[in-house]
Structure 1
Amino acid sequence: MKRILIVFLALFFWQCTKSEKEQSAPKIKWDMQRLDRSLAEAKSAEAIDSILKKHPEIGIGYFSCPPEKTPFLARDLYQLYQNPSLQAFYKQSQDSAFFGGDRLEKELHLAFERIQQEFPGLRTPKIRTVFSGFGGVGGEFTAQHLQVSDSLIVIGLDFFMGKKGLYVPPGVYDYQLRRLEPQALVGQVILQYSAFVNRQNEDDHTLLSDMIWYGKGFVFTKKILPELADSLLFGYTSQELTETNAFQKEVWEHFIDKKLLFNQEELTKNKYLGERPKTPEIGPACPGSIGRWLGWRIVDRYWKQNPKLTLTKLMTDPDYNQLFLKSGYRGEPEKE
């Protein structure tokens, strides 16, 4: 009898704890639809046309297709889905290791719940998924890996199949492919979405201002997705992450010696912020976009030194200069 009572009390308190957690989770207006599945299961071009007309945000917002050309887009998509190669590629995407089941929906829902906790009242965007074989619909219509706004997110799942996918996006290099792994998708969505709460002084065009803008986006993403691996967020290999952390003093000194922080030349800024496999100006092993990574180190230092600072305050404060000065960052490696 005593054992039964103990079990009953344990279940009671577990249920109470569960209820408290459910009540503490913020309510968000959730609207995510797996249109990749609807399109793949369509039995005719007319059925796809109906889907596109019901969801004009896909035709217009993702494929850049004007309404009057929707029937042509529907025809091309239907023909594409009849291709055995595309069928095999799409079937692979529905494996559990990729985007089968509801794992993607759960991860995105949790991420936007966490965002709502940090930014109460912020509108949760609609989310749609598509699969178009990298936009292989006759060349007239466009497609990309992500289309992100504060009201709508469209995800091209075919672009996030990673190195194990049957096909890789055209024109994508290995260093870019690291951010297109299935496990990287949610992180890349949240990183892009962070731009809508990331304030910057629009009159300031220095490299340091842009570095800190990127750095705040990375801190935002890591706060919302603490389980996300740095390699999937930055696109650096484990070796690059280790070596860059160990030699960041040298990286920092390069920025100081070359007087880069307040440089406003677009060509110079692109060398340190743009998409490149390496940053040879610093060294042959230095990874690309090093300015973005260094911006994260500055903001992360400031964030950790101010534990009472809210994410809202960090993201909405455009004064990068005060953030930089108060961070005290001078190229010190992060302690393991």
Structure 2
Amino acid sequence: MKKIGFLFVLLFVFNACKESNQIESEISKIDIDLNVERFDLDFANAETEDLPELKHTYPFLFSERIPDSVWVERINDSLQQELSSEVEKAYSNFDDIQHDIESLFQHLKYYDKTFKVPRVITVTSDVDYRNKTIVTDTIVLISLDTYLGSEHRFYEGIQRFISLNMKRSQIVSDLAASYSEGYIYQTKPKTLLDDMIYYGKQLYFKDQMIPFKSDAEKIGYSEEQLEWAIVNESEIWRYFIERELLFSTDNSLAGRFIADAPFSKFYLELDSESPGRIGQYLGWQIVRSFMKNNEVPFMEMLQMDADEIFNNSKFKPRK
């Protein structure tokens, strides 16, 4: 009987991989016409007399309430010039990132037939790491000065758990996260589970949209942090269940287990070993389990209620 069960599992995995490969083959054939516009370079190399042309080409980047004198001052500002120089050194070649973005757009087009390729524009934002990527129906902005590398000297005053993801490899992951917000249904979260499933949906969205990225890159963990979460998954789950946290409406739980932080707050000795956002990680595993055990279209799942997903997930933590 054990051999039969094992063979059944192998057959299931084989068929799932075959179906996934077929889908990826179809997606790779979708034509995407993408031209990344380097506003960061255009502005860095501009002279005062170039300002009218820049404003004509990128009108949405210039507020009418800001006089031209401010932009001229910015063009000539030594700190801005240094920032632009660092960006140009790091991103003199953008081909690999453009390829990743094209692949993301192919996946978006496959799952959403109404998707239209937007203008993709790279900018600098005075290292505004809270708004690294901005997405609308027609425009995508990517702040390259927030992706200069985790160890870059510009980030010395930024907490380590934040600067960890201020690197080139996270651009398309952050972009996918920004896009996910337009597809995921979410009522105002009331419980910890609501938050967990929301971010679980977001991470599963990345599974589908950027399958070429590692799980660590999708969630923004180091490989060591991801390994810690995997190894301790069962213990974390037991902690949540024994303390009845899933359906708790205690607002402090989001800060302990969902929000970006240097570590998750179990109030145990292991806290300093744990990565932050462990509730997001668990939500991801619950959503993955739901999709594995239910024949529900991916985009339809994004609209489902958190309780329904959890109750039908058959989730069991890894031991």
- TM-score norm. by structure 2 comes to 0.81
Q: Is residue 128 from structure 1 mapped to residue 121 from structure 2 by the alignment?
A: yes
Question: Which blocks of at least 5 consecutive residues in structure 2 are unaligned?
Answer: 1-24
How many residue pairs match? The answer is: 292
CA drift of 1:128 comes to 1.3
Q: Which of 63, 76, 79 pairs up with 1:79?
A: 76
Cα shift at 1:126: 2.9
In the alignment, the residues of structure 2 paired with residue 45 and residue 84 of structure 1 have an alpha-carbon distance, to the nearest angstrom, of 14
Question: Match for residue 222 of structure 1?
Answer: 207
Q: Distance in 2 between matches of 1:203 and 1:132?
A: 30
Residue 46 of structure 1: CA displacement? 3.6
Task: Give the superposition deviation at 1:31.
Answer: 6.0
Which residue is equivalent to 2:5? none
**Residue aligning to 1:104:** 97
Question: Is 2:48–2:75's contact at 8 Å kept on the other side of the alignment?
Answer: yes
Q: 1:180 aligns with which of 137, 141, 166?
A: 166
2:21 corresponding residue in structure 1: none
1:293 aligns with 2:281: yes
Secondary structure in 2 aligned to 1:33? strand
Deviations 1:34-68 (A, max 9, x none): 211211221x1341353134313223xxxxxx313
State the one-letter code of the partner of 2:219.
F
- Counterparts of 1:279 and 1:185 in 2: how far apart (Å)? 24
Q: Distance in 2 between matches of 1:160 and 1:153?
A: 16
Q: Aligned in 2, Cα 1:239/1:155: closer, same or farther, shift over 3 Å?
A: same
Quote the residue 1:35 is aligned against.
Answer: 39
Greater shift, 318-327 or 159-168, is seen at 159-168
Aligned to 1:8: none
1:220-259 matched pairs, under 5 angstroms? 220-259=205-244
Structure 1 residue aligned with 2:309, among 317, 323, 327?
Answer: 323
CA positional deviation for 1:211: 0.7
Paired position in structure 1 for 2:12: none
SS at structure 2 position matched to 1:69? coil
1:310 matches 2:284: no
| Whole-angstrom distance in 1 between the partners of 2:309 and 2:27 | 35
Return the offset for 1:28: 5.3
Distance 1:323 1:49 in 2: 53
| Structure 1: gaps of 5 or more residues | 1-20, 60-65, 136-141
**Contact between 1:212 and 1:299, CA under 8 Å: does it hold in 2?**
yes
2:143 maps to 1:156: yes
Counterpart contact for 1:272–1:288, Cα < 8 Å? yes
Please tell me the root mean square deviation across aligned C-alpha atoms, in Å: 2.7
Find the residue that maps to 2:316 and give its secondary structure: coil
CA shift, 1:310, in A, is 2.4
CA pair 89-204 structure 1, distance change in 2 beyond 3 A? closer
Distance 1:215 1:143, change over 3 A: closer
Higher mean C-alpha displacement, 50-59 vs 267-276: 50-59
Counterparts of 1:61-76 in structure 2, within 5 Å, are: 66-76=63-73
Q: Tell me the CA shift for residue 269 of structure 1.
A: 2.0
How much does 1:131 deviate? 2.4
Check the 8 A contact 2:75/2:81 in 1, yes or no.
Answer: no
Task: Return closer, same or farther for 1:23/1:50 CA change in 2, 3 Å cut-off.
Answer: same
2:200–2:287: 8 Å Cα contact kept in structure 1?
yes
Which residue of the partner structure matches residue 183 of structure 2? 197
Q: Is the 8 A contact 1:92 1:165 kept in 2?
A: no
Matches within 5 A, 1:44-59: 44-59=47-62
> What is the alpha-carbon distance in structure 2 between the residues aligned to residue 150 and residue 258 of structure 1?
42
Query: Is the Cα–Cα contact under 8 Å of residues 256 and 265 in structure 2 kept in the other structure?
Result: no
Distance 1:40 1:198 in 2: 37
What are the within-5 Å matches in structure 2 for residues 130-149 of structure 1?
Answer: 130-134=123-127, 144-149=131-136
Counterpart of 1:276?
261
Residue 204 of structure 1: how far off its partner (Å): 4.9
With over 3 angstroms needed to count, the CA separation of the structure-2 counterparts of 1:73 and 1:327, relative to structure 1, is: farther
Amino acid at match of 2:245: L
1:14 counterpart residue number = none
Give CA deviations for 1:104-126 in whole Å, capped at 9, x if unaligned: 22221221111110111134433
SS at match of 1:218: helix
Alpha-carbon separation, structure 2, partners of 1:188 and 1:106: 15
**Aligned position for 1:332:** 318
